[in-house]
Homo-oligomer: A and B are copies of this chain.
Amino acid sequence: MPKLKLDISMSLDGYIAAPNQTLEHPLGDGGMRLHDWVFGLKSWREPHGMSGGESNADDEIVAESTRGIGAVIMGRKMFSGGDGPWARDPNADAWWGDDPPFHVPVFVLTHHEREPLVKDGGTTFTFVTDGIESALAQAQAAAGDGDISLAGGASVAQQYLGAGLVDQIQIHLAPVLLGGGVRLFDGSIPKPVELEAERVVASPAVTHLRFQVSR
C-alpha cells in the first residue's frame, strides 16, 4: 500500500504560513521566510524550470522527497495559489504553468466540480469533491509502486492528520519564530499519537525531522 507522506516547512513556533494569509498570498506576510532554505537548491530549481543551484545535504533531502512519489494530494488554495487574478477563479490553472513540477497524477481537494486537467510532463490534475478519503483512495490507485505526497496546504494536512491517515511526517524546521500565522497542528488531532523519530538532518538553514506515525 502506498504511504501518505507529509513534507512541510514549519517555524519553531509551529507556523506553516505567516499572519494575514489570503488566497492571493497563501503564505501570509513574511511567510516566504519558511521556504528560504529551499529556493537556492538544485533539486528544487530543476523541476521548477530553473538552472543551477546548490547541491548539499538539504538538496539531497528535497531530491529524496520527490523520488518514489507516484501521486500527489493538495488543497484548492495550493492548486490555485499565488499572486494574480486567477487565484479566485475556480477554473484557473495558470499558477502551475504548462509543465508543473509534479510529473505524476495530482488530486486536488475542492468544492468545485471540474474536468481533469492534463498538463505536459506527466502531471494531471484531478478534482475531488467528495472528501479526503476519496482523494486518498484515488491517489492510492494512481500511485502504482510509488508513495503519495500530501503537499498541503494547512487545511488539507490538518484534515489528514486529524483522521489518522498520514504515515510519515517530515518537518523542515526553519530557525525562526513567526509569532503568528497558520499552524500545522491546530488541535484537530483528537488523541495522542506516538511517532517514531527516524532521522534528523541539520544545516544552519533548516533542520529536517522525519517521523513515522505509529499505528
Residues of A within 8 A of B (CB): 12-14, 18, 30, 33, 161, 169, 171, 173, 175-180, 183-185, 187, 189-197, 200, 202-207, 209, 211
Contact = CB atoms under 8 A, between A and B. Distances in A.
19 contacts: A12-B195, A13-B185, A13-B189, A14-B183, A33-B192, A173-B209, A175-B195, A175-B196, A176-B192, A176-B194, A177-B185, A177-B189, A177-B193, A177-B195, A178-B192, A179-B189, A179-B192, A180-B189, A197-B203
A137 B86 CA distance: 55
A192 B12 contact: no
Given A14-B13, A185-B13, A209-B207, A190 B179 contact: yes
Given A12-B185, A176-B195, 14 more contacts: A12-B169, A14-B14, A14-B185, A30-B192, A161-B177, A173-B209, A175-B196, A177-B195, A197-B203, A197-B204, A197-B205, A197-B206, A197-B207, A200-B207
Nearest to A18: B192
Nearest to A195: B175
Nearest to A171: B12
A33 B204 CA distance: 29
